[in-house]
Structure 1
Amino acid sequence: MKRLAIYCGSATPADPVYIDCARQVGRTLAERGIGVVYGGGRLGLMGAVADSALAAGGEVIGIIPQALVNAEVAHRGLTELHVVETMHKRKQAFTDLSDGFINLPGGTGTMDELWEALSWAQIGYHAKPVGLLNVVGYYDHLVAFYHHMAEVGFLRPQHAGILIVDTTLEALLAKMDAHVPIETITKMRAKDL
């Protein structure tokens, strides 16, 4: 993996564990020679990932819609900053420029990015690992819901392993390195769906 898309919040929660995690992710990826592709913002966890990766000598590519540039939240000190027209183009650029995805804690936008990465993998639009860093149990309920979808039958058994989860970055990266693409919906027959 030469570049990873990092999805995370633009907020800074009161508990410093979240910002510390974002800093660790940025620094660790840079130290491993893995470039960061992210939302292009300077605030919250997004800014912490970017600043830490840059401080450690890493490559950081931001993808930001013009509307957020107009709101003055763009990070102007990145390796590259790509300004796009829409959120759809932003997410397509994340997929095009990265070799996988890691979700850190975040809100609605982060959830949107996670579910799109998962659904695109399931359909067959990409075959890249989708990781979830479950910092201090932030995603416990989401992981339980993901398993519930499989138990009920809305997530096929061959797709239940798309989401790669761990509580530490090192373990998550190791699992992502070992990722084996799944049988996608576009390669299946209707009778198997």
Structure 2
Amino acid sequence: MPKVRLSGTVLGENDPTRSTRARLLHLLFSHGWDIYNGNGDQRITLSNIERKIIESDAFVFTPGATLEDMFKAISIFVGYQTLDRHLAGKPTVVLNSDFSWDPFFSVLDHLHKMGTIQQDYRDYLLAVETSDDVIKTLDVVRHHGIPDAGRVKIGESNVSSFETPLPLNHAGNICVFCSASLTDPAFLADGEELGRRLAEARLGCVSGAGKSGIMGAVVKGSVDAGGWTAGSNVPHIIELEGLPEGLSSFWLKPDIYTRMEVMIQNSDGFVIFPGGAGTVQELFALMIFKHQKNPLMVNKPVVIFNRPNAAGLGFFDPLIDLLDGMCQPGDFSVAHTLDDIVPVFERKLKKSA
């Protein structure tokens, strides 16, 4: 029988989503689905999420959206975008009967308009309002498939991991999560300038090791200024984006989740630069780790670069609005200019020295 994985956690007998979940379980069972996480008590981690995806034939997200639910949903969307073979033909349905997913969808809509998400999320994360519609949508997608993401491989991946020791005067590593697709010259110039400033501050630059977009520009800026640079990527994304030149160290990983983990482990702080679904996914992971008091995120600042446009609107306004309702003060800070970014890490690392 096909297996569907449900999101969400049932918070006791008075949970308002309990009856909806019970109805959904009944319909799925009666229509021939086996169910993972029926009781809502299974934990997903960066080390096991890919295995959970491999084990499942479809995904259903339930009402009462939490930050962890949103992280899982956007992770699947990123998998569709990057042609993850383990997601081929597997539908994802979001039961949004309580409209708790609307802020998340607003973020995706906004980033689509900003050009960092090329695909329309509605073609991949299929929102419905009733449990009956979940069953109908699963059946339709299983028969008709999932739209092509419009990505084309630019080459084959034959790279392996390598390491270069840190410089003697090294002050720390800053990870930059950002777009690998945005080609606006102004954004690319900002990315290159950030890489240069990190190098001049003796801060290593850690990235997703993509050659294109802002990601490639940040690495170039650091390399050109003589900085130490490192990154992590996975074979099927390297085939789409290539690798930047000049990396000091590179960590090849089998999936995007262990890729995130090694980047977090090897960084002392994080910059969220203009980006798309992958950048949002990475920011959600950082916030979840902070809430869990994960040792990988202890005393590591997160700075969101909310780059303003000509009208004064910030690139990440909807995302910051979403996080303000789910995060604690101090989980992240917001920078509006490039000048505001590097000093945050210099002050933090000086205190820790």
TM-score between the two structures when normalised by the length of structure 1: 0.81
Q: Superposition RMSD on alpha carbons, in Å?
A: 1.9
The structure-2 alpha-carbon separation of the partners of 1:54 and 1:142, relative to structure 1 and needing over 3 Å to count, comes to same
Inter-partner Cα distance in structure 2 for 1:72 and 1:113: 18
Could you say if the C-alpha distance between residues 176 and 43 of structure 1 is closer, same or farther in structure 2, counting changes exceeding 3 Å? same
2:304 to 116, 132, 157: 132
Change (3 A) 1:144 1:31: same
Cα distance in 1, alignment partners of residues 323 and 347 from structure 2: 21
Q: Deviations over 1:124-171 (max 9, x none)?
A: 112111111111211122222322x1xxxx44xxx2321111112332
For 2:319, the equivalent position in structure 1 comes to: 142
Q: What code does the residue aligned with 1:55 have?
A: D
Identity %: 27
51-60 vs 124-133, greater mean Cα deviation: 124-133
CA contact (8 A) 2:307 2:315 kept: yes
Quick one: distance in 2 between partners of 1:139 and 1:177? 24
Conservation of the 8 A alpha-carbon contact between 2:211 and 2:241: no
- Asked if 1:12 corresponds to 2:189, the answer is no
CA displacement at 1:104 relative to structure 2: 0.2
Q: Determine the C-alpha separation between the residues in 1 that align with 2:345 and 2:197.
A: 15
Tell me the equivalent position of 2:204.
Answer: 35
- 8 Å CA contact 2:195–2:222 kept in 1: the answer is yes
Measured against aligned partners, the alpha-carbon deviations of 1:90-124 in whole angstroms (never above 9, x if no partner) come to: 11111111001101000000110111111111211
Find the counterpart in structure 1 of residue 120 from structure 2: none
Matched with 1:21 is 190
The separation in 1 between residues aligned to 2:245 and 2:347, in whole angstroms, is 35
Structure 2 counterpart of 1:5, which letter?
C
1:88 lines up with 2:257 in the alignment:
yes
* Other structure's SS at 1:71 match: helix
* Counterpart residue identity of residue 2, structure 1: G
Whether the 8 Å CA contact 2:212–2:241 is kept in 1: the answer is: no
Greater Rg by CA: 2
Normalised by the length of structure 2, the TM-score is 0.46
* Structure 2: gaps (5+ residues): 1-170, 309-313, 349-353
Deviation at 1:52, TM superposition (A): 0.9
Structure 1: give runs of 5+ residues left out of the alignment. Answer: 180-193
Structure possessing the higher relative contact order (Cα contacts under 8 Å, 6 or more residues apart): 1
**Following TM superposition, by how much is the alpha carbon of 1:82 offset from its aligned partner in structure 2, in angstroms?**
1.6
